[in-house]
Amino acid sequence: MAHRCKSLNFLKTSMSRILAIIPAAGCGSRMNSCVPKQYLKFGQNTMLELTAGKLARVLGPERVFIGVSAGDAYVNELDLKNMHVLRTGGATRAETVANTLEAAMHYGAVSANDLVLVHDAARPLVEEADIEKLIAESKKQIAAGTASGCVLAIAVVDTVKRTDEQGYLSEDIDRKGLYRIATPQCFRAGELAQALSENPDVTDESSAIRLSGGRVAVVDCDPANIKVTQPADADFVRERLLKESHMQMRVGYGYDSHRLESGRKFILGGVEIEHSLGLAGHSDADALLHAITDALLGAANCGNIGILFPDNDPAFKGADSKVLLKKAWDAVAQKGWRIANIDCVVIAQKPKLNPHVPAMARTIASILNIDPEQVSVKPKTNEKLGFEGKEEGISTRAVVLLTKSC
Ligand code: MG
């Protein structure tokens, strides 16, 4: 079977133990479609590919588990990269979630205290920023002991009324505090598994958690995070995807150089490298992180590293450039930008840098919360020419591409 738990060894050693479960075993009878609604096509992709892709971009594809029915004839045709497709579909959504969670726990992909995000296959418009907000708030609430987890939700803005059995308005309902509950919903794996076993008939995970005595917090999300249920919803998704396909793009370019001196550490791309000489500077002199910082700031027109972190400010003496990069990225991300990729060149006659490239890419990616695959670092010597070639210093260049929906 395709996509079946290919990379569980990675999951066992993963630092960040957050898993996503997508129950996708329903038939979507209200869509008037001959294929289950998760397999409806939007352009080149099915709804399930779009939905799962959102979670995969936040958590990594190997952390996404999709529960389909035993007889599913469509899923093997999809491009789900390293996501895991399990034939764990049950008679209800709750049963599919419980079965998929149990299988993920059985494989060692998740343990009781790890976080699990459960997300409807039919919500392809969820914003990645909302998923990140949900995870951050869930971690905060769980650590503080104030809630068992959180759900994405949309405050009700319409006037709400109840009708009687004949269809006449019979009761005005105060909309204050009313929410439409969406997904993902985020809880600890063990608590969720227990709650679902105690309450198998619920329509969402937060109901199970609450019926088992837990408290659930609400995290506001983009109202476009609808559940595709009626044919008109599919039209809404198509229009929105068309809009999303019109991306703003910005390129940024950064350059830096630092002198080589004895008695200093050689820190590059956030990685300390053994060398007889080190890089001189006011901060830790990480010329690669400085070039990336400037490229990011430049692309978003947020100034430059010298303005944000002046080299005559004692606050930045010996500063960790990883912290400076994170601060600069926070300012850029605040404007809604996301990183498509970063490509860098380091010119240094010595030391040999290629063995350190994977560690640099991992470090840079973790600071910026992106995949290491989006970061390229290419070391070059300068054929003994210029200050780099004479080992008086090194220089770096970085290009970044930022994207944002219009
Ligand atoms: Mg510098």
Task: Tell me the domains of the chain and their CATH numbers.
Answer: 5-244 (3.90.550.10), 247-405 (3.30.1330.50)
Q: What is the pLDDT of residues 301-352, one digit of tens each?
A: 999 999 999 888 888 888 999 999 999 999 999 998 999 999 999 999 999 9
Q: What are the φ and ψ backbone dihedral angles of 152, each rounded to 5 degrees? A: -75, 140
The whole-model pTM stands at 0.64
pLDDT of residue 81: 83
Cα(59) to ligand 1 centroid in Å equals 32
pLDDT at 30: 58
Over residues 256-299, the pLDDT tens digits come to 999 999 999 999 999 999 999 999 998 999 999 999 999 999 99
- The rounded Å distance from CA 254 to ligand 1 centre is 10
Q: Across-strand partners of 254? A: 398
Q: How far is the CA of 286 from the centre of ligand 1 (A)?
A: 6
The alpha carbon of 292 and the centre of ligand 1 are apart by a number of angstroms equal to 10
* b/e sequence 99-125, b meaning 16+ C-beta within 10 Å: bbbbbbbeeebbeeebbbbbbbbbbbb
- Ion ligand 1: protein residues whose beta carbon lies under 5 Å: 256, 290
Give distance in angstroms: CA of 331 to centre of ligand 1. Answer: 19
Q: What is the mean pLDDT of each run of 10 residues along the chain (406 residues)?
A: 38 62 81 78 90 94 94 90 93 95 93 96 95 96 96 96 97 96 97 97 97 98 95 92 82 98 96 96 95 98 93 87 96 93 97 97 94 95 95 98 84
Q: What is the pLDDT of residue 250?
A: 96
- For 116-142, the DSSP string reads EEE--TT-TT--HHHHHHHHHHHHHHH
Q: Report pLDDT for 17.
A: 87
pLDDT for 28: 59
Write down the residue that tokens 């005595």 correspond to: 213
In the block, residue with structure tokens 């506001």: 220
Q: How many CB atoms lie within 10 A of CB 302?
A: 18
Q: Cα of 311 to ligand 1 centre, how many Å? A: 9
> Residue 10: its pLDDT value, please?
40
Mention every residue, 6+ apart, whose C-beta is less than 8 A from residue 334: none
